[in-house]
Structure formats: C-alpha cells, structure tokens
Amino acid sequence: MMRIALGVEYDGSAFCGWQFQDHSPSVQAAVERALAKVADAPLRVICAGRTDTGVHATEQVIHFDTEVSRSMRSWVFGANANLPKEVVILWATPVSEEFHARFSALRRRYRYVIYNRNVRPTFLARRTAWNFRPLDEARMAAAGRLLLGEHDFTSYRAMGCQAKSPVRTVYDLDVSRKGELIFIDIEANAFLHHMVRNIAGVLMAIGAEERPVEWAAEVLTHCDRTLGGVTAPPAGLYLTRVTYPQQFPLPQIDGSAALW
C-alpha cells in the first residue's frame, strides 16, 4: 500500500464545495473520478481543509492510499486528462503513512480578494467579492492586527459551526491594495466555518468607515455571532497554502502568486 499526496488547484464557482454531496457536483467527486480512471479502481481522498460552495483553491493538499503502481507523472497528467477545466492536479509525491493531509497540517493560509470600485465587475465576477464603497485598506490593516494571536473566535464563526473549540491562533493578517483589488491574507493554525469570510465582513465595514478600527477587537469580546458583521460572499475566498512539518517535504507552490 502506498500513500500519495497531491496539490489541487480549482475554481470553485461551479461546485457545491470540496466535500461530496448527493445533490450537486463537488470538487472531491471530480477528483476521485479522475484518479479512479488512472488507477482503474475506486479511490477516496482526504483533503487539508474543506472549502464551501463557490470558494476556490490555488493549492489544496490531499492524500490517498492505493495498491496500484503508477508514476507520479501518470497520476498528475492522467488525472488532469479526466478532470473538468475548473480543476487541475499540480503535483503528486509519495509520502509516508504518517502523513495526513488534514491532521498533519500546522497552518493554513487564505486570501480574500475584494474588487473595490463603484460598478460591478464582469470578468472577475465569480472570482472576487465586489464592494462598491470606497475602502480604506490602512484602516482594515490596523483592524486586522487586533485579531493576531490566540483568541476565542465565536463571534467570527458560523452559527452552525461544529468545531469543538472556537479558539484559534492567527499568525498573520495582512491587508494590501493593488489598483482596484484589495487583498486580505490570513494564516492560522486552523479556521472555523466562515471565519475568514466573517473577518472580511468586519474589515470591510471598518474600511468603509461605518465602524471604528477597534470594533474588530470588540466583536471578539462579545463571543456572540449575532453581534458580528455580515458574512462576506464566497467568490473572493481562496485557500492558498497549507504548511506541514519539515519531515514531509512536499513540492508546494506559492499559491498567492497565482492571484494577481
């Protein structure tokens, strides 16, 4: 039995999210069908982090176990030949049985992309979150710094979040602008359901000067989702990197480099 890890890039616009669903197409189902064609046998994959409907990834990490012998090139190009155009395998590498795409991960990094102009976008409509209000990225960055460190993020998670603990550690939260695009880059040990989108909603309200910079920290102290901001739309969200211990040397790419 061999364990293989892969990097997966996808445009989530056409999918109900990563996880398999009976009623709608999922990224997981597309990937498993493509890999099964290469293996000539059913395969089940495990991912680093499940993404929601409409959310994208520049490098999701997955693994699977198989008794089938194929070259790493065959797994990549064979699967890509059977994947829809919205999904592509970036790389494949053998790993030890101790590796687990989800449980071995130390950190996860997301980028939230906002198209900030007074008229809606066309080409980037499904790949960015449009906000027509002029946003001050410096105010957003200052507010984001208040969320660094270990906190109870109850106010920033979905009401239906099933995580046992709301405590997470945010290592980095940076806000930058490039023309009409604003980027929120955030890295943490793990994320709660809708955590990044809820943070983005709060930061956009602060950037529009509807709320003071300090509001980002005040929302934390409430520990009440109903006292937080709106949940930002999924189209602007990308999983860009998953970090693993050095004992698992994966051929990873800089996911954020693919986003403008």
Span 87-117, pLDDT tens digits? 999 999 999 999 999 999 999 999 999 999 9
**Active-site residue identified among 11, 52, 136, 224:** 52
Q: Is 246 contained in some domain?
A: no
Q: Would the pLDDT of 257 be above 70?
A: no
- DSSP E strands: which ranges in the chain? 2-10, 46-47, 56-66, 87-95, 107-115, 129-130, 149-152, 167-178, 181-188, 237-243
Tell me what the mean pLDDT of segment 130-141 comes to.
98
Residue 115 marked ligand-binding:
no
Active site includes 52? yes
pLDDT at residue 66 above 70? yes
Residue 147: which pLDDT band, with cuts at 50, 70 and 90? very high
Residue showing tokens 């960055």: 141
pLDDT exceeds 70 at position 35: yes
Whether 218 maps to a domain, the answer reads yes
pLDDT tops 70 at residue 258: no
| 133 lies in the same domain as 65 | no
Smallest CA-to-CA distance from 111 within 237, 241, 258 is with 237
Query: Stretch 221-245: mean pLDDT, rounded?
Result: 95
Indicate whether 70 and 191 sit together in one domain: no
Indicate the pLDDT class of residue 207, thresholds 50, 70 and 90.
very high
pLDDT at 259: 67
Range of the structural domain that residue 223 is part of? 107-239
Q: For all residues of the chain together, what is the average pLDDT? A: 95
What's the chain's length in residues?
Answer: 260
CATH value at residue 16: 3.30.70.580
Query: Is 260 contained in some domain?
Result: no
- Is residue 245 one of the residues assigned to a domain? no
Residue 247 lies in a domain: no
Q: Which two tokens stand for residue 29?
A: 């189902």
Residues 6 and 28: their CA atoms lie apart, in Å, by 13
Residues 18 and 142 in one domain: no
In this model, does residue 255 exceed pLDDT 90?
A: no
What 3-state class would DSSP assign to 152? strand
Strands 149-152 vs 87-95: parallel, antiparallel or unpaired:
unpaired
